[in-house]
C-alpha cells in the first residue's frame, strides 16, 4: 500500500529550520562511521547491519524497542583504554550500563569496576567480579551498603563526607578489618562537552571542597584513623568532555592538595583517580579526540605536575563509562505514526513517533542531550526531511531525537536506529506510563543473546500488591 510521502506535499522552504550544527545529508542512507560500531554497514538490500545482524532480523527476533550492544566493540573499547593508559588502573563506571554479563566482560578485559549503590554492588557480586578491583562511590552510602561492600572486601571506598567516614570506622571496627579509601575532592572544575568552568566555590553535593581546607582536613582525618588506609585522592569533573583542559586544571589542583597534605603530615599519597567523563560522538557535531592523543596529554600533565610537586611515580586511575559502552551500542525502535505539524509562520515539522520514548532514554528530556537516528530497515531514495523523533509517553517533552534528517517517505512500520543509546539509557530507564523496559541484547559473531530480558506486564504487576 503506498504511503503518502509526508514531506511531499510541503515545499522545502516551509520546513522547520535545522539547528546550525546539523547539515542536510547529501545521502540520507549514509552511515557516519564515527557513530557506529566498526563494521556497521548497509546491506545490499539497504538494511542497517551491525556485526552481521540486520535491523529487521533483530527486531523480528527480539521485538521492539530494543537496546543492542556489540560485544566485540565493547571489549575493544575497554581494551583500547587499558592499552592507551597502560600502567594506570582503568575502572569501568557501571552506572553507564551494568548487568552480570557486562561485568564479566569487564573482568575478562582486565579492567576494574565502579559501583555507586548496593544494587550495583549486588550485580558485580552476582557476576563474581573481583571485589578487590571494585571501587564504591556515592555521596550517601548507607550503613547497609557499606557493610555489604566492606564484608565483600571492596578494593576502595571513595569517601564523600565526614558522616561516611564515621560510618566506615564503626563498620571496620565491627568487622575487625581496615578499609582502603580515596577522598573525593572537589576541584571547582566543572566540565561538560567542549567547555569547562573553574569556579571559586562550587555549589554541588559531591566530595570535599579544596577551598576552605575541607579536602585537606578530610585527608588528615582519614590518615589518622586506625580503621582506614588512606590511599589517595579522587576527582571527577563531569561528563561528555571532549577536551583535556578541564582535566589539566583538575590534575594541578588535586596534586596541590596532595602536596599540602604532605607538608602537613610528612606522608606522601600515592594514588590519584581522575574519574571519567570522556565524550563520545552521538551526532556528527561531536568530535572526541583519539584515545591515544588523550592518553598522551594526560601523561604529560601528570608527569609535569608530579615533577613540579616532587611526587615521583604515582598510581593513576580513570573511570570511563560512556566511552566504553556508548560507541558499542544502539537502540532500535518501530515507527508508529508520522505527523506533519504546522508551526507559526507557516513552516512545518515532521514528528515521527516510535514505540518507546523517555522511559527508555531520558537523556534528551533530562539534559537536552542530542542524538541522531537513521532509517534502519531499508534504504530510501526519497529526499531528506528534517524530523523530530518522539516517544509514546504522555509528555510534550518526550523527545528522543530533537532534530534529524530522515527520508521523506518514512512510514509506520519502519525501524529507526539511534546510535550510542546503550549508555545511560537502560540504566536510567523507568516504567513511566507503565511501559515495560526493553531488553538489552548482545551481538556476538553470528549469535545474539539477551543480557537483560524484556520486562513483561507480569513483572509490572508483580510489585503491585493489590
Ligand atoms: C559518572 C561517573 C563516571 C563515569 O562517567 P562517564 O561520563 O560515563 O565516563 C566516573 N566516575 C564517577 C565518580 C562518576 O560519577
**Average pLDDT of the residues in 378-400:** 97
Are 354 and 452 members of one domain? yes
Are 383 and 433 members of one domain? yes
Check residue 389 and give its pLDDT.
98
CA of 162 to the centre of ligand 1 (A): 22
What 3-state class would DSSP assign to 414? coil
Tell whether ligand 1 has an atom less than 6 A from the beta carbon of residue 320. yes
Indicate which CATH number applies to the domain containing 242: 3.20.20.10
Are 430 and 451 members of one domain? yes
CA of 242 to the centre of ligand 1 (A): 14
Q: Is 271 part of a structural domain of the chain?
A: yes
**Each residue of 20-64: pLDDT tens digit?**
999 999 999 999 999 999 999 999 999 999 999 999 999 999 999
Rounded Cα gap, residues 46 and 204, in angstroms: 48
Of 237, 238, 239, 298, the one to substitute when testing ligand 1's pocket (max ligand atoms within 8 A of C-beta) is: 239
Are 144 and 285 members of one domain? yes
CA of 278 to the centre of ligand 1 (A): 9
Tell whether ligand 1 has an atom less than 6 A from the beta carbon of residue 160. no
Confidence of residue 404 (pLDDT cuts 50, 70, 90): very high
Angle between helix 214-223 and 162-174 (nearest 10): 10
Rounded Cα gap, residues 118 and 296, in angstroms: 35
What 3-state class would DSSP assign to 389? strand
Which of 299, 320, 341 represents a domain boundary (last residue)? Answer: 320
Are 149 and 270 members of one domain? yes
Q: Is 237 part of a structural domain of the chain?
A: yes
Which of 300, 320, 340 represents a domain boundary (last residue)? Answer: 320
Give the residue whose CA is nearest to atom 7 of ligand 1: 277
**Each residue of 198-207: pLDDT tens digit?**
876 778 899 9
Q: Which residue has the cell 579544596?
A: 210
Are 386 and 272 members of one domain? no
CA of 112 to the centre of ligand 1 (A): 13
Rounded Cα gap, residues 2 and 293, in angstroms: 51
CA of 229 to the centre of ligand 1 (A): 24
- Annotated active-site residue 394? The verdict is yes
Closest ligand 1 atom to residue 96 Cα is 8
Indicate which CATH number applies to the domain containing 49: 2.40.37.10
pLDDT of residue 457 exceeding 50: yes
Q: Is 203 part of a structural domain of the chain?
A: yes
**Average pLDDT of the residues in 161-174:** 98
Q: Which residue has the cell 548497509?
A: 42
Tell whether ligand 1 has an atom less than 6 A from the beta carbon of residue 96. yes
Tell whether ligand 1 has an atom less than 6 A from the beta carbon of residue 236. yes
Of 319, 320, 328, the one to substitute when testing ligand 1's pocket (max ligand atoms within 8 A of C-beta) is: 319
- Of 347-351, 359-363, 391-395, the range with the lowest mean pLDDT is 347-351
Tell whether ligand 1 has an atom less than 6 A from the beta carbon of residue 145. no
What does DSSP say about strands 228-234 and 271-273: parallel, antiparallel, or unpaired?
parallel
> Which domain, by its residues, includes 233?
137-320
pLDDT of residue 12 exceeding 70: no
CA of 172 to the centre of ligand 1 (A): 27
CA of 352 to the centre of ligand 1 (A): 32
Q: Is 90 part of a structural domain of the chain?
A: no
Closest ligand 1 atom to residue 236 Cα is 13
Q: Is 129 part of a structural domain of the chain?
A: no
- Of 173-177, 187-191, 358-362, the range with the lowest mean pLDDT is 187-191
pLDDT of residue 4 exceeding 90: no
Tell whether ligand 1 has an atom less than 6 A from the beta carbon of residue 319. yes
Q: Is 106 part of a structural domain of the chain?
A: no
Catalytic residue of the set 99, 116, 387, 394 = 394
Are 381 and 454 members of one domain? yes
Are 262 and 349 members of one domain? no
Tell whether ligand 1 has an atom less than 6 A from the beta carbon of residue 113. no
**Average pLDDT of the residues in 190-214:** 85
pTM, rounded to two decimals: 0.96
| Host H or E run for residue 122 | helix 118-126
Overall number of domains in the chain: 2
Are 167 and 258 members of one domain? yes
What 3-state class would DSSP assign to 180? strand
Which of 320, 338, 368 represents a domain boundary (last residue)? Answer: 320
Tell whether ligand 1 has an atom less than 6 A from the beta carbon of residue 184. no
Tell whether ligand 1 has an atom less than 6 A from the beta carbon of residue 321. yes
Of all residues in the chain, the percent with pLDDT exceeding 70 is 97
Are 276 and 178 members of one domain? yes
Tell whether ligand 1 has an atom less than 6 A from the beta carbon of residue 278. yes
Give the residue whose CA is nearest to atom 3 of ligand 1: 276
Amino acid at each position: 500500500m503506498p504511503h503518502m510521502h509526508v514531506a511531499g506535499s510541503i515545499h522545502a522552504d516551509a520546513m522547520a529550520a535545522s539547528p546550525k550544527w546539523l547539515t542536510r545529508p547529501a545521502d540520507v542512507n549514509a552511515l557516519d562511521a564515527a557513530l557506529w560500531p566498526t563494521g556497521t554497514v548497509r546491506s545490499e538490500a539497504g538494511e542497517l547491519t551491525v556485526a552481521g545482524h540486520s535491523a529487521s532480523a533483530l527486531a523480528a527476533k527480539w521485538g521492539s524497542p530494543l537496546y543492542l550492544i556489540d560485544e566485540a566493540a565493547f571489549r575493544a573499547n575497554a581494551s583500547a583504554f587499558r592499552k592507551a593508559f597502560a600502567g594506570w588502573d582503568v575502572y569501568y563506571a557501571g552506572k553507564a550500563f551494568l548487568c552480570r554479563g557486562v561485568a564479566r566482560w569487564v573482568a575478562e578485559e582486565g579492567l576494574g569496576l565502579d559501583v555507586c549503590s548496593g544494587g550495583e554492588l549486588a550485580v558485580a557480586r552476582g557476576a563474581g567480579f573481583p571485589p578487590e578491583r571494585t571501587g564504591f562511590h556515592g555521596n550517601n552510602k548507607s550503613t547497609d551498603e557499606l557493610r555489604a561492600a566492606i564484608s565483600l572486601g571492596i578494593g576502595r571506598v571513595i569517601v564523600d563526607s565526614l558522616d561516611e567516614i564515621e560510618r566506615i570506622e564503626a563498620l571496620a571496627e565491627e568487622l575487625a578489618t581496615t578499609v582502603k579509601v580515596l577522598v573525593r575532592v572537589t576541584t571547582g572544575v566543572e566540565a561538560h562537552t567542549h567547555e569547562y568552568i573553574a569556579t571559586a566555590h562550587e555549589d554541588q553535593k559531591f566530595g570535599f571542597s579544596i577551598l576552605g581546607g575541607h579536602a585537606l582536613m578530610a585527608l588528615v582525618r582519614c590518615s589518622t584513623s586506625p580503621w582506614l588506609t588512606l590511599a589517595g585522592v579522587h576527582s571527577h569533573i563531569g561528563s561528555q568532555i571532549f577536551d583535556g583542559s578541564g582535566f589539566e586544571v583538575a590534575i594541578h589542583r588535586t596534586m596541590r592538595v596532595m602536596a599540602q597534605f604532605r607538608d602537613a603530615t610528612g606522608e606522601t599519597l600515592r594514588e590519584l583517580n581522575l574519574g571519567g567523563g570522556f565524550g563520545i560522538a552521538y551526532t556528527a557535531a561531536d568530535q572526541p579526540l583519539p584515545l591515544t592523543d588523550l592518553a598522551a596529554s594526560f601523561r604529560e600533565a601528570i608527569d609535569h605536575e608530579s615533577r613540579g610537586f616532587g611526587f615521583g611515580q604515582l598510581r593513576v586511575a580513570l573511570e570511563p563509562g560512556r566511552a566504553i559502552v556508548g560507541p558499542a551500542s544502539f537502540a532500535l525502535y518501530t515507527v508508529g505514526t508520522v505527523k506533519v505539524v504546522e508551526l507559526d509562520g507557516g513552516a512545518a515539522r515532521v514528528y515521527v513517533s516510535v514505540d518507546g520514548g523517555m522511559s527508555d532514554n531520558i537523556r534528551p528530556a533530562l539534559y537536552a542531550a542530542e542524538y541522531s537516528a537513521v532509517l534502519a530497515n531499508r534504504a530510501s531514495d526519497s529526499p531528506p526531511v528534517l524530523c523530530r523523533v518522539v516517544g509514546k509517553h504522555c509528555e510534550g517533552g518526550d523527545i528522543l531525537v530533537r532534530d534529524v534528517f530522515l527520508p521523506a517517505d518514512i512510514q509506520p512500520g519502519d525501524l529507526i536506529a539511534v546510535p550510542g543509546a546503550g549508555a545511560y539509557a537502560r540504566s536510567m530507564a523507568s516504567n513511566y506510563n507503565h511501559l515495560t523496559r526493553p531488553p538489552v541484547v548482545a551481538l556476538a559473531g553470528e549469535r545474539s543473546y539477551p543480557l537483560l530480558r524484556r520486562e513483561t506486564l507480569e513483572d509490572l504487576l508483580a510489585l503491585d500488591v493489590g
